[in-house]
Structure 1
Amino acid sequence: MDDLSAQDLNGKLNATYPGKVVRKDLTARIKEGANVPIYVLEYLLGMYCATDDEATIEEGVSRVKKILAENYVRPDEAEKVKSRVKELGRYTVIDRVTAKLNEKADRYELELMNLGVTGVEVDAGTIRQNEKLLAGGIWCILGLEYDAGHKPTPFLLGSLKPIQMPSTDMDELRSGRAAFSRTEWLDALLRSVGMEPTVFAESVKWHLLARMIPLVENNYNAVELGPRSTGKSHVYKEISPNSILISGGQTTVANLFYNMARRQVGLVGLWDVVAFDEVAGIHFKDNDGIQIMKDYMNSGSFARGKAEITATASMVFVGNINQSVESLVKTSHLLAPFPPAMIDTAFFDRVHAYIPGWEIPKFRPESFTTQYGFIVDYLAEWVRELRKVSFADAIDAHFRLGNNLNQRDVRAVRKTTSGLLKLLHPDGQCGKEDVRDALVYALGVRRRVKEQLKKIGGMEFYDVHFSYLDLETLEEHFVTLPEQSSGALIPEGPLQAGHAHAVSPSDGGMLGLYRVELQTTPGSGKLVRTGTASASAVRDAVNIAFNYFKANSSRVSGSIHPDGSDYLLHLVDVQGNGAPEYISLALLISLCSAALGKPLQPQLVLLGQMTLGGTISPVENLAASLQLALDAGGRRVLLPMSSAADLATVPPELFSKFQVTFYSDPVDAVFKALGVQ
C-alpha cells in the first residue's frame, strides 16, 4: 500500500468511525514518557484527539500530556502525589488498582500500585461492577480525598472510573465494515495494534492477526514460540484491558482457577485471555495444576472440591525458541521449550493453533505504524462482543474437512476459522474465497500441533495429512507446512560405503534414528569405537555384529578379509534419544559395505535385530518405526520376514510410501541392502 492508499484508508476510517480512531504515532510520542499500557493512553487520546484535524490533534496531545504529567502516578514521585492529595483535599490520579477483601474488618480495600497506598476502603457495589479489581487489577482514574484522622489510611476514595470505553455500538461497526475491502480491513486491524502492514509479507500479516483470535473466541488455546523481539506478548499485555499476561510463569491453582478458601473463581473467570509469558518457566506450586489446566482447556470447566466451575477465558502460551527451527524439526520437536512436566500429548492435543513465531521478522522502527487505527479500547470492546457469536459453521457451505482430521482437529480448525472470520468480517459478509483462506490457515496451525504430537506420542497421531474438499468441484486440497519440508535427516543421494541408517528403540524406550558411519584402514582386524558406539549400552550389540562379520564374511564375498583391515566405527544418535537397543544388524551391514567399498541403496532404513547365531527378531512397534523412517526422509525399508504378520497394524497409506524389501537372515539382509540380487 503506497502513501496515497494509506491516506485513502485514513480518510475512510475517520469518515466511517468518527471518534473511534486515532493516529498511532501520537501513542508512541506519549508512551515514551509514561509507562502505562497503550489502551490507557488511547483512552485519553480518544477523548481529545480522535480527529484528522491537525490543530485539534496538537491541542489534544498537549492536554493528554498535561493530564499524564499531573495525574499519572510515577512510582518515584509517589510521595509528591500524596502531598498534593493532602494539601488540596481532593486530587485525581491515574494508577493501577487492585482490591482485596479484609475479612477481619469485613470490607473491601484498594491498593494503588504506583502510589504505594493500601487499605483504601471501597464499597461492595464498586467491586461487583469491576470484579477484575480482585484479580490482577485494572487501570483507573481515581478521585482521592484526604482525612487525617481516618484509619487505617487517611486516603479516601471519592470516585473510581475504569479506563475503558463505556459502550460499543455493534450495529455501527457492522454497517461500517462494508466500506472496506478485506485487505484494507486487515491493514486497519494491524494498525490498530500498532503494526505497519506495508512492511510485512501477506503470510506474516495472517500470523499477526492470529494473535488476536484468543480475544475474539471463547476457550481458545494457542501457542506461539519464536525468536525474541517479535512482539509475541504485545497484544495480551498492551492492547486489551480484557487480557492478563502472567510473567515469569509461576502460578497456583487458587490464583488461576479457584480459591477454595475464599470460594472465589480465579483469573480464568475474570479475564477473556490468560497469557503465559516465557513458557519455559511455567510452574505450578500445586501437583494437580497441569491436570486441572488440561481439563479446563478441553471443556472450559474444571472441578474444585464439590463445585464444577465453567469459564470462557482463552489460554495463550508464548515463549522463545533458542535453537534454529531446522535443527528442532530434524532432531526433536517444536514444543521443546516447554518445561518437562508439560511435554504431554494429552496437554498439547488441546491446543487449537501453533503460530510459527519464527516466520515473523524481528521488529524494527519501520514495523510500527504512524497511520490511523481504531482506538485500542474500542477494538478490545468490539472483539469482546464478538465472543458471543460463532462463525464456525461458515465452512460447511463450501467445504468438507478431510478424513485425517479427528474430532479434536475438527473443533480446533472450526474455532480458528471462526476467529479469523469474526476479525476480518464482523458483519458476517464473507465469500467462498474468504472462508477458504481462513480455513487453509486454520488447517496449517492445527497441523503444526499434530506434527509435534506425532513426534512425542508416535503412531497414535500419525494422521497429519490435513486436507479439505471443495463441495463444488469435489477436489481435495492438502495443506503443507514450510518447516516440514526444510530438509530430511536422510539425504536423497547415495551414502558413502559403510554408512547406514537404522530405527531402533533407545535404552530409554523412545524410538530414534541412528546413523552408522564405518571406515576401513589397513590393519590387523581391530575395531575402534567413537561416539555412541563407545557407550557401554551398545557394547554387546557391537560385539555381536563384529564377531558375526568375522565368522561369516566369506558367505558375503570371498574378497573380504576381516583380519587385513582395522574398522573405525562411529555411531550417531541423530535425534538425541540415547543409545540404541537394537543396532547389531545395521552394524553388520555397514561392516560389509565398508569392506566391499559398496554403498547401500539410497534412502534406505534398516529395521530388525539379530543374535550372534544369526536369528532375526521381528520389529517391535512396526507402525511407529515406519512412521519415524518416513518423517526422517526414508523411502526404502529393509524388513525381516518375521515382521510380515504385523503389517496389518500399519495404516495402508503409510505402508504405500515405501519400497519394502524383506530379508530372511543376516547375510540375505546384507545382499538386499547393497542391491545385490
Structure 2
Amino acid sequence: MTEQSDLAKAVDDLPDGGDDAPAPTGPPVKSALDQKINDVFGGAVVRKDLVKAVKGNAIVPSFVLEYLLGQYAASDDEATIQSGIESVRKILADHYVHRNQAELIKSNIREKGRYRVIDKVQVQLNEKDDTYEAEFANLGIKQVLVSPATIKAHPKLLVGGVWCICDIEYQHSENARVVPWILGSIKPIQLSNFDFDGYVSSRREFSADEWIDLLIQSIGFNPELFGRRAKLIQLVRLIPFVERNYNLVELGPKGTGKSHIFSEFSPHGMLISGGEVTVPKLFVNNSNGRLGLVGYWDVVAFDEFAGKKKRTDKALVDIMKNYMANKSFSRGVETLGAEASMVFVGNTSHNVPYMLKHSDLFDELPEGYHDSAYLDRLHCYIPGWEVDTIRSEMFSDGYGFVVDYIAEVLKAMRDADYSDRYQRHFTLGSDISTRDRDGIHKTFSGLMKIIYPHGEATREQIEEILRFAVEGRKRVKDQILRIDATMAEVKFGFTDKAGEWRAVTTLEEDEYPAYYHQRGGEVSGEATSSGASTAATAVEAPPEPAPLFEGHRDFQENQRGVSYESLLLPYVRGATDIRIVDPYIRLPHQGRNLADLLALVALGKDPAEEIAVKLVTKENTGDFQQQHLLMLKEIQDGVASVGIKFNVEWDETIHDRSITTDNGWKILLGRGLDIFQRGSRSQFDMGSRRQEFRHVVAFGVTYIKENKSA
C-alpha cells in the first residue's frame, strides 16, 4: 500500500494530452455479451440501433422493420450489416406506402401491371356479394377481393388489421362496379416457423443476468442503465404475450414507455385507445356474429385508459368483468371463450404519496372501473412511477432478438404452465385467497417462462420472482381494501421449507407507511392548531436528541426519500478525522457523490474548524487515468476553501466500502457512495437538485458504534 498525499504532483506527472478520450467512430464496440449472443443465436438477432437507422419518416411498427432487418442484416459482420441496411432502405423506399405518396404508388401499379407494397391491411365480409374485401390503410384502396383460403390462413385480417407484404395487380373493366385492384399475394409480416427446442437449449449457454440483459436489449434498452428491479418491471410487460388471460394494469407518469411494448413489440398484440372500444369491437357483434378483438389477438391493450371523467359503457364494464374472471363472454344465449390477455395503461396526474393520502393508487381510472369487483380481476399492478422517463441514452446499440422471433417464442409458451415451480421450496400464506393466489401464480409463471424457459432456477432465483409476483398482486389488493372496507385483510408472504415466514411488502408501503395503511376512505391524521398546547406559560426545555440507530438497514431498488443527509450526516457530525474507503470513485457521477458528501460535512461543522478527510480508493490506470486524477484534484481544491483537508490514498487490495470517524462510528456501505441510479442529465430534473427525489439501487448499510476513537 502506498499513499499519494499530493494529488497536484500526480497531475503534474501526467503526460500531455486532451482532457477527454477521442470520440469513438464507426460501429459500436461489441461487448462480450453481444459476441456471445451472436455466437449462440446467429441469424435470430439484430443490432437494435439499426431500426432508427432505417426507419426515417416511415410510420411503421418496429416489428415490421425488424422483420426486414432479420432477413437482410441479422449478422455481426459490419459489411453484411451495412449492405443489409441499404437493402432494407431500398425496400422501404420502393414498397412502403406513405399516405402522401399513395397516388404515385397506384400509378406504378397501373403502369407496371403488378407491384409489391408494404401496408396495413384489414378485411371485411361483404354479405351482399358473399365476398371478402380488403382495405389498404395507407394506399387508400378498398374492396380488393380476397380469397376465403387467405382468410382461413390469416383470420386476424378480419380484426384490427395486419401489416403485410402484398402483390397488387391492376385490371380495368368497363363495368363500373368491378374494382380494378386485384390481390396477387399477401404475406403477413411475422415469422412462419422457428426451432423452439433449440431456443430452450441455447438458453442454457447464458447466466440469468446475461439472459435478462439479452431480453432487455431485445426490447430495445441498454441494460447498463437499469437496475435489477427496473429490468423485472420491463419483463412483466411481456407476461401478457406469454401467459393466457393475464390481466395487467400500469399507471404512472407520462413518457415512461407504457404502451411501447404493445404497439411496437409483437405482431400478436393490439393497442387501442381506451375511448374507442365497444362491446361489438372487443367481444362479439350480435348482428352478424363476428368475433371481436379478444377472439383473434393474444394481447389487447388499452392505451390512455386513465381519466376520472371519462364516460364508460356499463354494459362493457360488466362483460369485461365476466371475461377477466371466467375467460368467457355471452352472445345472447351462447357463451364463448377466448384467450386474449387484457392490459390497461394510463397516466397519473399526482405522485404516489398524494394518491395514498387522498384516495388510492387506482384514483385515475374512470369512475366505472373504480370498482372493487373489476379491480379484483387484475393479476398485477406495475408501479409505473418507478419507471424512468425514456431518454435517448437509454436505447441500446447492442444485439437483441429480432422482434418477430421472440414474439413467436412467447406465443409458443402460452401453452406451458410454470406456476407450481416454486412449491418445492416455498408455500404461500394460508389466508391468501384463491383470486390472489391466481394472480400470483400467473405472474410467477410468466416470469419463469420468460427468464427460465428451461426450468432451471436456483432457490434464490425462484424466491426473487415469487416475491416480485406477490408484490404485484398485493399492490392490487391493498388498494381494493382502501376502496371497499368489507374486504378481508390478507397477510401477503410465504414460508420456506424450514417454516420461516417471509413477509412481502410493496415499495410504496415501505416509503410512505403513514399514508399506505388506511382502510375504506380513512384520511390520514394531521396535526391541527387545536392539538397544540394552550398552556404556553412556561418555556419547555428542548428534548434530548434521540440516540442514533445501530445495526443494519436495507433499501430496495427504486426507493426514494434517501439522502446522505439522513443516511450519513448524523454519524459524521462532530468528527474531525474521517476515513472513506471506496474502491470506485472514478466516474464523474461517483465524483459528484463524493463532493455532495463533503459539502454536507462542511455545512455540519463550525466554519472556523477544519476536518481531515482521507479517501482510500483504487487508481484508474487505464485510458481514463488522467480524467480520474484531475477529478480528484478538483475535489481537493474545491473543498479546501470550506475547511476540509482532503487527501487520497491508493490501495489496490481493497474491496469493502466503509466510513470510519474519530467520534466512534464505523459505517459499512455495501455499495459505497454509489447508491443512486443515474437518472436524467437535465439540470432541471428534481433528482439533480435533491438526492431525496432520486431512485436508489438496492443496497444495505450497517452502523457500528466502536468503543475507541478512530
TM-score class, shorter-chain normalisation, is: 0.7 to 0.9
Residue 135 (structure 1) aligned with residue 162 (structure 2):
no
Structural mapping, 1:545-584, within 5 Å: none
Q: Are positions 1:145 and 2:169 aligned together?
A: yes
Q: Secondary structure at the match of 2:336?
A: strand
Q: Which amino acid aligns with 1:279?
A: F
Kindly state the Cα deviation for residue 595 of structure 1 after the two structures are TM-superposed.
Answer: 6.6
Q: Is the 8 A contact 2:380 2:443 kept in 1?
A: yes
| Matched residue SS, 1:249 | helix
Letter in 1 for 2:335: E
1:233 corresponds to which of 259, 267, 271:
259
1:357 to 362, 384, 389: 384
Say which SS state the counterpart of residue 111 (structure 1) adopts: strand
2:211 aligned with 1:200: no
| Equivalent position of 1:484 in the other structure | 509
- 1-structure distance, mates of 2:519, 2:221: 48
Distance 1:160 1:453 in 2: 48
Q: Alignment partner of 2:423: what SS?
A: helix
1:461 Cα deviation (Å)?
A: 3.7
The yes-or-no answer on 1:343 pairing with 2:364 is no
Partner of 1:386: 413
Distance 1:284 1:103, change over 3 A: farther
Letter paired with 1:395: Y
Q: How does 1:414-425 map to 2 (within 5 A)?
A: 414-425=441-452
Contact 1:518-1:594 within 8 A present in 2 as well: no
In structure 1, the residue matched to 2:250 is 224
Q: What residue identity is the alignment partner of 2:152?
A: R
1:439 counterpart = 2:466: yes
Is the CA contact (8 Å cut-off) linking 1:119 and 1:152 kept in structure 2?
no
2:181 aligned partner: 155
TM-score normalised over the length of structure 2 = 0.69
CA distance 1:404–1:6, change in 2 (3 Å): farther
Question: Structure 2, unaligned stretches of length 5 or more?
Answer: 1-26, 539-710
8 Å contact from structure 2 (residues 380, 473) kept in 1: yes
After superposition, the C-alpha distances for 1:337-389 in whole angstroms (9 at most, x for unaligned) are 10001111010111000001111111111111000000000000000000011
- SS of match in other structure, 1:395: coil
Kept in 2: contact 1:250–1:285 (CA 8 A): no
Cα 1:6–1:184 shift into 2, 3 Å: farther
1:242-268 C-alpha deviation (Å, 9 max, x unpaired): 000012433111110111111122111
- Structure 2 CA distance, aligned partners of 1:22 and 1:431? 30
Q: Is the Cα contact below 8 Å between 1:251 and 1:284 reproduced in 2? A: no
1:517 aligns with 2:528: yes
Distance in 2 of aligned mates of 1:96 and 1:378: 20
2:357 matched residue in structure 1: 330
State how 1:586-601 maps to structure 2 within 5 Å: 594=534
- Is 1:253 the counterpart of 2:279? The answer is yes
Equivalent in 394, 398, 404 of residue 367 of structure 1: 394
Cα deviations by residue, 1:116-136 (Å, 9 ceiling, x for unpaired)? 000000011101111111110
1:410 aligns with 2:445: no
Name the amino acid aligned to 1:102: N
CA deviation string 1:469-498 (max 9, x = no partner): 111x2211011112113335589xxxxxxx
Which letter does structure 1 place at the counterpart of 2:198? Answer: E
Match of 1:543 in 2: none
Q: How does 1:112-127 map to 2 (within 5 A)?
A: 112-127=136-151
**Aligned partners of 2:297 and 2:340 also within 8 Å:** yes
Residues in 1 aligned to 2:537 and 2:417: alpha-carbon distance in whole angstroms? 65
The SS at the match of 2:109 is helix
Q: Percentage identity across aligned positions?
A: 44
Q: Distance between the aligned counterparts of 1:263 and 1:490, measured in 2?
A: 49
Q: Which residue of 2 aligns with 1:302?
A: 329
Matched residue type, 1:154: P
Distance in 2 of aligned mates of 1:354 and 1:292: 21
CA distance in 1, matches of 2:231, 2:164: 33
Q: 1:365 to 1:400 in 2, by over 3 A?
A: same
| Whole-angstrom distance in 2 between the partners of 1:17 and 1:153 | 46
Residue among 208, 211, 217 paired with 2:237: 211
Unmatched tracts of structure 1, length 5 or more: 492-502, 520-589, 599-677
Letter in 2 for 1:80: L
Matching residue's letter, 2:100? D
C-alpha distance in 2 between matches for 1:161 and 1:105? 25
- Equivalent residue for 1:180? 206
- Greater relative CO, 1 or 2 (CA 8 Å, sep 6+): 2
Q: Which residue of 1 is the match for residue 343 of structure 2?
A: 316
Larger radius of gyration: 1
Is this contact kept in 2: 1:49–1:56, CA < 8 A? yes
Structure 1 position 206, deviation (Å): 0.7
* More deviation, 450-459/374-383: 450-459
RMSD: 2.3
Classify 1:285/1:90 alpha carbon distance in 2 versus 1 (closer, same or farther; 3 Å): farther
1:423-479 CA deviation, whole Å, 9 max, x = no partner? 00112222222211110000111110011101101141422x3111111x2211011
**Given the alignment of the two structures, is residue 110 of structure 1 paired with residue 137 of structure 2, yes or no?**
no
State the 1:331 CA deviation. 1.7
- Cα offset, 1:410, TM superposition: 0.8
Q: Secondary structure at the match of 2:349?
A: coil
Q: Tell me, yes or no, if structure 1 residue 68 matches structure 2 residue 92.
A: yes
Q: TM-score, normalised by structure 1?
A: 0.72
8 Å contact kept, 1:94–1:140? yes
Quick one: distance in 2 between partners of 1:490 and 1:443?
Answer: 21
CA shift, 1:280, in A, is 2.1
Q: 1:49 aligns with which of 73, 86, 92?
A: 73
Which has the larger helix fraction? Answer: 1
